[in-house]
Structure 1
Amino acid sequence: MKNKNYYAVLMAGGVGSRFWPISTSSYPKQFHDMLGTGDTLIQKTFKRLNKFVPTENILILTNERYNDLVLEQLPMVKQDQVVLEPAMRNTAPCILYAALKIQKMNENGVMIVAPSDHWIEDEDAFAADVTTCFEKCEKEEVLCTLGIKPSFPNTGFGYIEFEKESAEGLKKVNQFREKPDYETAKEFLAQGNFLWNAGIFMWSVKTIVNAFKNYQPEQYSLFESGMSCYNTGEEKEFIKENYPKAENISIDYAILENSKSIFVLPASFDWNDLGTWGSLYDKLDKDEDNNAVVNSKVVTTDASGNMIRSPKDKIVVVDGLNDYIIVDKKEVLLIYPKSKEQDIKKVLGEVKDKFGDTYA
C-alpha cells in the first residue's frame, strides 16, 4: 500500500533551451523521448515517483500552454492535478501554491518537489532515499534535500556545503553555494563536504508553509488569501488574478538561504540533470567510434565523439567530424561543436532575431 500522506510536485514548466532545436518553447524537452527509450522524460519521472506516491497525490506544476501536453502524455492524471502557472514567476511562488493546495487536502502531507527532466537509473534507491527524508520530515520541522556526490569539479551546478562532523545518513546543511568557478569547484571537492544541488526537495506541508510565513510574509499572505478557493471551481479565477502579483524569486533565495534547519542526504543513486546535449551524450550508449546515436541509422567515417539525433530511422552520413552535436529535425539542422554547447542558448537568440519565433 502506498502511503496516503505522501505527495509529489513535479516541476514541468521549463523550456530547456540548451536542447534546441528539439526542445522549443511550444514543445519543451520534458515532453520528448530524449534518450530513445520509448518514454518521454516527464513519463519516466512520473513512473519513478508513482512507485511510492499514490497516483492521485502527484501534482504537475507547469505553464498554462503545456496543459494539453501533460494530459496527453500522462492519461492517468486528472485535470485538477495539473497546477497551471498563468505567469512565469520562478520556483518559490509555485511551490507555495502547491503546498497550500496539498495542505487543504491533507494537513499531515509530506511532499517531494522534483524536476521532470532528470535521469535516474536506480529507481528503487531513489525511492528509498526519498522515504528516508520523508520519515525525518514527518517527525521534525526540517527541510530536506538530496545531494549528489560530485564526480568532477562541475561549474554548472550549485553546491551544498554540509557540516563535516555530520553522522552517516542525513547531514546538517551549512549553506547553499552558487555555481562556482573551476578553481573554487576544485576546492569544494578537496574539502570533501560538498555535494551537487540536484534541486530535489522534501518537507512536510506544515513546515514549508510556516517557512514562507516566517521568511516571505508578503508572498505567504498573497497566496494564503486564496485558501477558501483552492481545490474548488473558484481557484482558477483567484490564481489568474493574483499569481502575476507574486514576487519572481527562486525557492533557494526565498526559503533555503534563510532556514536554519536543512538536512541533505547524499544520494545513493546515479543521477544526471540532462541539461545539455553533452550531458545527454554522457548518458547514452556509444558505438565503436564513441558516437551516441538516437533514432538515426548512421554511416560514419573518421567521425568520433559525436551526439547524433534525427527523426526515426533517418540515414545520417558523417565524415571527418569529431565531438560535434548533430541534430536534425524537419525544419532545423544543428551542427555544432560539443565544446560550445553552453552557447546554444545564444544561437537560439540569433535564430529568433533573424527568422522569428517559429523555430524557437
Structure 2
Amino acid sequence: HFYCVIMAGGIGSRFWPLSRESKPKQFVDILGIGKTFIQLTYERFSSFISPENFMVVTGKAYKEQVLEQLPALKEEQVWLEPERRNTAPCLAYAAYKLREKDPDAVMVVTPADHLIIDTATFSRVMQQSLAYAAGQDRLVTIGITPTFPSTGYGYIEVEDKHTAFSRVLSFKEKPDYDRAKSFLEHGGYVWNSGMFVWSVNTIIREMTVWLLDIADAFAGLAESYWTPGEQSAVDKVYVASRSISIDFGVMEKSHKVDVTCADFGWSDLGTWTSLYEQSGKDEAENVLSGEQIIANDTRNCFVKELNPDKLVVADSLEDLLVVDTEDVLLICPRTDEGRVKQIIEGSVSLKKEYK
C-alpha cells in the first residue's frame, strides 16, 4: 500500500524571473530539458508507485497546472491548500485523509523541485525505505552523503552511517561555512534532503505527541474527507492552523526517527547559484543556456536566454547572472542574487504579473 505525496505549493521566488507567483518553479522547465521539476519528480517515483497512488498537495491557484503537466492524475489526486502554512499542516492533511481511504498506507513525501542524477540508486533506496517503514514503527528521513561543506542545507547527525537504517542523533540547522566544514570532517553527518517515508499510523501517532493542535484539527475532519464538503472544511482548518515545518514540529523532537544514507546525485535546486554549480560549464566556467549565445572574454557567468531566435553577445563580463525571459531581463552579480528577491518584494510599483 505505497503512496507518493508530492508537495508542490511553494513559489520558488529565488528563481525569479523564470519562477513567479503565477507559475512557480516546479511547473517551469528551468533545466531546459523539455520537462518541468514536477514532471521529473513524478517520473522518478512512477517506476515503483502506481499512478492512482500519487497525491499532489498544492495551492488552489495551481490545480490546473498540475493536471495539465501530470495527465495521468485525476482531479481527486490533487489536494488543495487555501493558504501556505509550511509543511506540517500539509502533511497532516495528507496523512489523515489517506488513512480514511487506506489505514495500512505507507507514504513517501517529496518536494516537487529536487534534482536527482542517479535515478536507479534513488529508486532502490526509496523502495527499501518504503519496505522498512511498512514493517517498523519508525519515521524514515533520507540523508544525503555530503560532497562539500554546504551552508544551504540542514544536516542530520547519524548514529551509525554503515547500517542501512540508523538512529538519528540530532538535526542541525543550516550552518555557517566553518561549522559545515567541521560536519564534513567529522564524517557522522549527512544532508537533510527533506524527503521522508512513514506509515500513516506512525506519523499520526507522532503528530498527536508533538503537534497536538494540528493533529486534532485534521483528525476532526474524518467525516469530511473524500466527500463534496471536504474542501470547505479543510479551508477552515488550514486558515486557523499555525505555520510550522514538519522538521521543527515533529522530526527534531520525535524519538522514532531513523535515517538512511544515500548518494544519488541529489541537489535541492533552490537558487540560480545552485543551478550554476550543477550545470556543465565551458572552459571559462560559464554556463550558457540558449540557442545563440556568443561569449567573448567572459568568465564565471550564467547566461540563460529563452528565445531561440534571439542572439546574445556577452563581451568582457565576469561573475554575472543574466536571465532573459519573454517580458523580463535580469542582470545581477552571480554571487549576490539573493538581493533580487528583496528588490522585487520591496517594489511597490511593480505590476503583479512580474512578481
**3-state SS of paired residue (1:355):** coil
Task: State the AA in 2 paired with 1:264.
Answer: V
The equivalent residue for 2:109 is 113
How far did 1:32 drift? 0.7
Q: Is the 8 A contact 1:143 1:208 kept in 2?
A: yes
CA distance in 1, matches of 2:182, 2:117: 29
Q: Is the 8 A contact 2:22 2:353 kept in 1?
A: no
- Over residues 183-208 of structure 1, what are the superposed CA-to-partner deviations in whole Å (9 max), with x where a residue is unaligned? 21111112111111110001011100
Q: Is the 8 A contact 1:296 1:309 kept in 2?
A: no
The equivalent residue for 1:153 is 149
**3-state SS of paired residue (2:72):** coil
How far did 1:181 drift? 1.3
CA distance in 1, matches of 2:6, 2:34: 20
Taking structure 1 as the reference length, what is the TM-score of the superposition?
A: 0.95
1:90 to 68, 86, 89: 86
Task: State the AA in 2 paired with 1:169.
Answer: A
Unaligned runs of 5+ in 1: none
Stretches (4+) displaced over 6 A: none
The equivalent residue for 1:44 is 40
Q: Is the 8 A contact 2:92 2:204 kept in 1?
A: yes
User: Sequence identity of aligned pairs in percent?
Assistant: 40
How far did 1:29 drift? 0.7
The equivalent residue for 2:158 is 162
Aligned residues: 354
Taking structure 2 as the reference length, what is the TM-score of the superposition?
A: 0.96
Is 1:13 the equivalent of 2:13?
no
2:66 to 51, 66, 70: 70
Task: State the AA in 2 paired with 1:52.
Answer: F
Unaligned runs of 5+ in 2: none
2:258 to 259, 263, 266: 263
1:197 to 192, 201, 212: 192
CA distance in 1, matches of 2:262, 2:338: 26
The equivalent residue for 2:327 is 331
CA distance in 1, matches of 2:282, 2:81: 42
How far did 1:331 drift? 2.0
How far did 1:166 drift? 5.3
Q: Is the 8 A contact 2:307 2:325 kept in 1?
A: no
- Over residues 144-199 of structure 1, what are the superposed CA-to-partner deviations in whole Å (9 max), with x where a residue is unaligned? 01111111211111111111x45422111011111111121111112111111110
CA distance in 2, matches of 1:169, 1:80: 36
CA distance in 1, matches of 2:163, 2:320: 42
Task: State the AA in 2 paired with 1:160.
Answer: I
Q: Is the 8 A contact 2:307 2:326 kept in 1?
A: no
Q: Is the 8 A contact 1:296 1:308 kept in 2?
A: no
CA distance in 2, matches of 1:266, 1:337: 35
RMSD: 1.3
Q: Is the 8 A contact 2:155 2:192 kept in 1?
A: yes
Q: Is the 8 A contact 1:92 1:250 kept in 2?
A: yes
How far did 1:285 drift? 2.2
CA distance in 1, matches of 2:334, 2:145: 25
Q: How does 1:233-272 map to 2 (within 5 A)?
A: 233-272=228-267
Task: State the AA in 2 paired with 1:159.
Answer: Y
- Over residues 341-360 of structure 1, what are the superposed CA-to-partner deviations in whole Å (9 max), with x where a residue is unaligned? 2323213224x324243311
The equivalent residue for 1:137 is 133
2:348 to 332, 342, 353: 353
- Over residues 86-143 of structure 1, what are the superposed CA-to-partner deviations in whole Å (9 max), with x where a residue is unaligned? 0111100010100111111111111111011111011121111111111111111100
Task: State the AA in 2 paired with 1:150.
Answer: P
The equivalent residue for 1:274 is 269
Q: Is the 8 A contact 2:27 2:38 kept in 1?
A: yes
